[in-house]
Amino acid sequence: MGKLEIMALLEIKNLVKNYGEVTALNGIDLSVKKGEVVVILGPSGCGKSTLLRCINGLEEIKSGELTLQNYGKLGKDISWVEVRQHIGMVFQSYELFSHMSVIDNILLGPMKVQKRKREEVEKQADELLKRVGLYDRKNAYPRELSGGQKQRIAIVRSLCMNPEIMLFDEVTAALDPEMVREVLDVILNLAKEGMTMLIVTHEMGFARQVADRIVFMDKGEIIEQDIPEYFFTNPKTDRAKAFLNILNYESRGTDYEQNI
Amino acid sequence: MGLGILFQGSNFERLLGGLGVTAEIAFVSVFFACILGVLLGIVMTSRNKIIRFWCRFYLEVVRIIPLLVLLFLVYFGFAKWFNAHLDGVLVCIVVFVFWGAAEMGDLVRGALTSIEKHQVEAAYALGLSKMQTFIYILLPQSLKRVTPGAINLFTRMVKTSSLAMLIGVLEVIKVGQQIIETSLFTDPSAALWIYGVIFVLYFVICYPLSLFSKYLESRWEN
């Protein structure tokens, strides 16, 4: 108290999400400051993706509160349709609209939802496309693009809505290894520019490089939060240690019997 | 002899007149079946169990009852129960729309539910409303998937319109039979020629539909 704190851009309080009997998220508290890059790690099925989907209103929550600075409680003070204009999301499987060209994919949201003028949006789209190196594919159709290109377009599509927060849900998980880099570079650049982001990923090296804070989840709960330096070198909890050890099998030597 | 019978008297005009009736029944039915089918298809994707049950019931009724029975029920049934005569063409169109809307609805439902859930989520994530998502994403994508089945249904409706003659509609086959019957003794091979011509006439109606379907599919492919 008494200390001046920067108000969080996104505040999540006691978020609970059920799938029938199964509790997917069990009381999540998380606040994200403006410009912060939060990387969420954890074993599969721990609820990382579900958390992102809840933030974007794609899943109905059982209880809890999500508050966006200047707008209020999500789904109550501000409708989900409007929330999504402020919080962009990119999916693992890109999900470009297959019946539309790249530029139409990008223009759809800004023009139909935000009712902006075509010329103005297209100018912004051109700039973004140039930045991700895909300006020459502007009129291509999604099926003519590689996975990495599709994902970069999907990011541009989301960015063109001028969101305040971006959610990345395992955006490189479906990509061939040589295409992972080009997508991660785009995200790294966004981080440098000060975009607020929540990222779910399995790329540990990338997580370490891009994150301001690592959030480690297991079984629907946040187990540990720390700056990447400490999290990766000296995790506090056993579960985080176990998780990192499974990933670092190389460092345990080549005696496989010993590893079992 | 031979094809000559076609040009005796007003035979050819009468055949074309019959073809006109056939086309009228088929295309008016297809038009309304299309519109109602799309609406029904949307309704069928509803999560409401009662709505789903009645849609299912309707579809099963159409599938189980032979079309001819439906035609008789409406045409003769209406006359008997309400003591009123309905025009055969009108009865045909009503029954065909009843049939076509059900099948079209099921095709549209199938296409709509076959669109990946993630495509819809991606649209939501861009801030599109449910209605906008339907108009800009679901409808265009399912249109492409519904085309082959729909064209198949339409050509079936064209061909099945020949049942109309059984409730006294003078469509192309009935006219053909009349021509054959009048020349039964003078020209025994008339049946071959007249049915041959009718075959070509049906082909003339149905083939453009197939071409149109191919055109649409290739256009959406590129």
Domains and their CATH numbers in chain B: 2-219 (1.10.3720.10)
Task: Give whole-number Cα distances, B58 to B40, B54, B63, B105, in Å.
Answer: 11, 6, 9, 11
Answer whether A112 touches B (CB < 8 Å): yes
Helix (H, G, I), strand (E, B) or coil at A237: coil
The upper half-sphere exposure of residue B132, i.e. CA atoms within 13 Å in the direction of its Cβ, equals 18
Mean pLDDT of A108-115: 94
Is a pLDDT exceeding 50 seen at residue A1? no
Cβ-Cβ contacts under 8 Å, B121 against chain A: 58, 91, 95
State the smallest CA–CA distance between residue B113 and chain A in angstroms: 16
Report how many Cβ contacts below 8 Å link chain A to chain B: 63
Contact A112 B124 (CB under 8 A): no
Query: B126: which strand partners?
Result: none
Contact status of A114 with chain B (Cβ, < 8 Å): yes
Q: Choose from A59, A87, A108 for mutation: most chain B CBs within 10 A.
A: A108
Quickly state the pLDDT bin for A3 (edges 50, 70, 90): very low
pLDDT in tens, B50-68: 999 999 999 999 999 999 9
Binned at pLDDT 50, 70 and 90, residue B166 comes out as confident
The chain B residue lying nearest A106, using CA atoms, is B126
Determine which helix (DSSP H) or strand (DSSP E) holds A259, and give its type and residue range: helix A256-259
* Residues of A with Cβ-Cβ distance to B137 under 8 angstroms: 97
When the pLDDT of each residue in chain B is averaged and rounded to a whole number, the result is: 89
Is the pLDDT at B97 greater than 70? The verdict is: yes
- Has residue A139 got a pLDDT over 90? yes
pLDDT of res. A7 = 74
Tell whether the model's pLDDT for residue B182 goes beyond 90: no
Q: What is the mean pLDDT of residues B65-84?
A: 90
Q: Inspect the interface and report whether the beta carbons of A56 and B122 lie closer than 8 Å.
A: no
Query: What is the rounded distance in angstroms from the CA atom of residue A153 to the CA atom of residue A145?
Result: 10
Burial of B148 per CB tally in 10 Å (0-12, 13-18, 19+): middle
Q: What is the pLDDT of residue B5?
A: 76
Calculate what percentage of chain A has a pLDDT beyond 70. 92
Contact present, A184 and A203 (Cβ < 8 Å): yes
CB contact under 8 A, B125 and A81: no
Q: How many Å is the Cα radius of gyration of chain B? A: 21
Give me A233's structure tokens.
Answer: 């070198």
How many residues does this entry show for chain B? 222
Q: Hey, what amino acid is at A40?
A: I
- pTM for the model stands at 0.80
ipTM beyond 0.90? no
| Nearest CA among B86, B97, B132 for reference residue B27 | B97
Residue B96, phi then psi, degrees to nearest 5:
-65, -35
Task: Decide if A1 touches B, using CB distance below 8 A.
Answer: no
pLDDT at A180 over 60: yes
Give the number of residues written for chain A: 260
Are residues B122 and A99, on separate chains, in Cβ contact within 8 Å? no
- Name which of A126-130, A138-142, B16-20, B26-30 the model is least confident about: B16-20
Burial class of residue B102 (count of CB atoms within 10 Å of its CB; 0-12, 13-18, 19+): buried
